[in-house]
A = this chain, B = another copy of it.
Amino acid sequence: MVRSHSLYQFRKLRFAAPSVKKVGGSCPELFEPEDWRVPLHVDMEDLRSLAKVPLFQGLDADHLRAVYEGSTCKRKGANEVVFRQGQEARWSYVLLRGRLKVAQSSPDGHQILNRYVGPEEMFGCVLLYKSHRYPATATTVSPSVVLAWDRDALFCMLERFPRVALNALELLGEELAIVRSRYLELATERVERRVARALLRLTEKSGKADGRGVEIAFPVSRQDLADLTGTTLHTVSRILSGWRQQGWIESGRRRIKVHDPSVLRSIAEDDRPLQA
């Protein structure tokens, strides 16, 4: 599919000086100036968010608090890197607010997009990667707040709260099923269909509907879509142009709105459900 080196594929990520601030769970006084956005009662708000995280379902308030206090809070602007492929994997993350993407690149400069991560999802979490290295790079798409646990805290947590381990097992299982279904898709469907599916998944997961259609709530470039579907931005551009001319969609710079999902669905047609 993507064959050889194309300069377009080398995406220059802006490596803003990592304005990572570690914040002891319940020590708001440690906040640094750039954290002005954060009100002092952040604790309670984060805790409420935390309660919605699937990974922590089944924990009662006290346990949640304990989990929270073992965490480190990091705040990022848009387009910052949370961790980079190949780095030592010390932290496991949960996204509280914002949006980020997890991408993997091959040594020859090609890139694929593993997934977009939304609020309350865990990421970078394949606990103790055997290699002890992150297999992918996580980059924020919008300003984000993440909680992180280091190896020790994580193991502690898993030991104290077996329920969390079970949740993790379930979530990893889902993830695995999704990746497998994506693999099947990549191996058997043609590009247009893959793009349609990807778009549908994005709108379903994070679409903002208004009178004239559903728009993806965060910026997605053609290249992103290409990396997501295993093709090139050129092909994606052509396809979207076609759809736009048909009036199926509306799109601009890193912006896509689907007018009529049912049309896309018929392009993606198949009995097979879209996983996730």
Taking a contact as CB atoms under 8 Å apart, the answer to whether B188 and A126 are in contact is: no
- When the two chains form the complex, which single residue of B112, B114, B189, B190 contacts A188, counting CB atoms closer than 8 Å? B112
What B residues does A185 contact at CB under 8 A? 106
Report yes or no: B188 in contact with A135, Cβ–Cβ below 8 A.
Answer: no
Interface size on A, residues (CB 8 A): 47
Q: Which residues of B contact A112 (CB under 8 A)?
A: 183-184, 187-188
Let me know if B174 and A175 touch, CB within 8 A: no
Q: Which has the most chain B C-beta neighbours within 10 Å: A128, A135, A272?
A: A135
Which B residues are CB-close (under 8 A) to A230? Answer: 186-188
Given A172-B173, A176-B175, decide whether A1 and B108 contact each other with a Cβ distance below 8 A. Answer: no
Is B106 in contact with A184, judged by CB distance below 8 angstroms? yes
Query: Is A260 in the interface zone, CB < 8 Å from B?
Result: no
| Chain B residues, Cβ within 8 Å of A127 | 169-170, 173
Counted per complex, copies of this chain come to: 2
Asked if A40 is at the interface of the complex by the 8 Å CB criterion, the answer is no
Question: Which of A67-75, A160-168, A207-215, A244-252 is found at the contact surface with chain B?
Answer: A160-168
Distance in angstroms between the alpha carbons of A186 and B1 in the assembled complex: 8
Interface centre among A2, A112, A176 (most CB of B within 10 A): A176
Give A2's nearest chain B residue, CB to CB: B188
**What distance in Å separates the Cβ of A227 from its nearest Cβ neighbour in chain B?**
9
Closest Cβ of chain B to A175, distance in Å, is 6
Q: Which residue of B lies closest to A1 (CB)?
A: B187
Question: Which of A's residues lie within 8 Å of B, judged by CB?
Answer: 1-3, 104, 106-108, 110, 112, 114, 126-130, 135-136, 158-159, 162, 165-166, 168-170, 172-177, 179-190, 230, 270-272
17 contacts between A and B (CB under 8 A): A106-B184, A106-B189, A106-B272, A110-B188, A112-B183, A112-B187, A114-B180, A127-B173, A128-B170, A130-B174, A130-B177, A135-B177, A179-B180, A183-B183, A186-B230, A187-B230, A188-B230
